[in-house]
Amino acid sequence: MSTTVENLKDPKQARTSQLEQLKKFTVVVADTGDFATLKQYAPRDATTNPSLILKAAEMQEYQWLMDKAIADNKKSNASAGELPGLIMDDLLVLFGMEILKIVPGRVSTETDANRSFDTEGLVAKAKKFIGLYEKNGIGRERVLIKIASTWEGIRAAEMLQREGINCNLTLLFSFAQAVACAEAKVKLISPFVGRIMDWYKKSTGKDFAPAEDPGVKSVHEIYAYYKKFGYGTEIMGASFRNVGEILELAGCDLLTISPHLLGELTAGTAPVVRKLSPEMARDYKIERVSLDEKKFRWMYNENAMAVEKTAEGLRLFNADAMKLAQHIADKLK
């Protein structure tokens, strides 16, 4: 009996979603605080930030978490001024704990943006978060503490890593920040692909094809540098604007993706080709860099996009943290 080429094709393979194909090369992380989304797309890890938690906390189905955080802290002897901050910390951890019941891997919990230039303050807040998780039976290996990629934030992460507290360095827009994080032996970095592209699109008035996207090219450079020189820091592309950016980074260690784009990847069935690999990195033309504080600050300062987007990101995260604090204060009334 003759067998045609068509008969040899696997019909299931033809229908495999782009999300499932991507998962063969890259750890998929969900960028959300919504439990239903996590159950739907089955990522390994999940990331949160003040903006995502604020959005979730305002949804009726998560009101019980807010009620629990308020009730637990009302039992303390905290002053009226201290109470909203304590409740917010508990709320972030409560969301993290519920997320860890769904995902098999890790959750990222973010430190206060207004501490981003305070090394000691960041270390203290990170230890508080880890203490709250461990008090509730969650091992520190399942938690990533998110810290902004300022010089002070990187130094805080370096100290925390020595104590076995893993960190996710966020708001990362430049090669200087990436190199400093690797030298500090940070567990993971989150380069913000879409926000980099936003800046270049606004400053040039141009649209960029995915392969020429400045955010995509930034992650390619960081990935190649880390793999070529043997750094153990994981790279998690973040802040995507379209599926094209994601597919150009297939093969990156991790990618954290919004629910909307997870939906697009689930609906798509076009072939996904691996773009990043350790083998590719070996032939990448790049020199090794060593940074002390002076070199870091100058190299970072020379990147106007990174300076502007880091500052903007800190302001936005802090604004949403303040909105969350006000939301808590209103509940207390």
Per residue, the 3-state secondary structure of 121-187, as one string, reads HHHHHHHHHHHHHHHCCCCHHHEEEEEECCHHHHHHHHHHHHCCCCEEEEEECCHHHHHHHHHCCCC
Q: Which of 145, 202, 194 is nearest to 172 (CA)?
A: 194
The percent of residues in the chain predicted with pLDDT above 70, rounded, is: 96
Label residue 6 by pLDDT band (50, 70, 90): very low
pLDDT at 283: 87
DSSP strand pairing (107-110 vs 143-148): parallel
What would the mean pLDDT of 50-56 be, rounded to a whole number?
Answer: 84
Which residue is catalytic, options 39, 125, 135, 146? 146
pLDDT at 19: 97
Chain centroid to Cα 205, Å, comes to 28
Q: CB neighbours of 16 closer than 8 A, spacing ≥ 6? A: 269
Q: Which two tokens stand for residue 1?
A: 């009996």
- Work out the number of other CB atoms within 10 angstroms of the CB of residue 320: 18
The percent of residues in the chain predicted with pLDDT above 90, rounded, is: 83
pLDDT 10s digits, 154-213? 999 999 999 999 999 999 999 999 999 999 999 999 999 999 999 999 999 999 999 999
- Work out the number of other CB atoms within 10 angstroms of the CB of residue 166: 21
Q: What amino acid is encoded at 218 in this protein?
A: S
- Range of weakest confidence among 24-28, 56-60, 92-96, 174-178: 56-60
pLDDT at 4: 36
Label residue 1 by pLDDT band (50, 70, 90): very low
CB 173 within 8 A of CB 305: yes
The pTM for the full model equals 0.92
pLDDT at 131: 98
pLDDT(306) > 60: yes
pLDDT 10s digits, 138-150? 999 999 999 999 9
Q: Kindly report the CA angle at 321 between 318 and 322, in degrees rounded to 5?
A: 90
pLDDT(41) > 70: yes
Helical H runs in the chain?
5-8, 11-14, 18-22, 35-41, 50-57, 63-74, 83-100, 119-135, 151-162, 175-183, 193-204, 214-228, 243-247, 259-267, 278-282, 293-301, 304-332
pLDDT(9) > 70: no
pLDDT at 49: 83
39, 44, 213, 219, 278 from 199: Cα distances, Å: 33, 30, 11, 16, 29
23-332 fold: TIM Barrel (3.20.20)
Check if 146 is active-site: yes
pLDDT(123) > 90: yes
pLDDT at 51: 83
Q: Which of 213, 230, 332, 223 is nearest to 280 (CA)?
A: 223
pLDDT 10s digits, 131-140? 999 999 999 9
pLDDT(11) > 70: no
DSSP strand pairing (167-172 vs 143-148): parallel
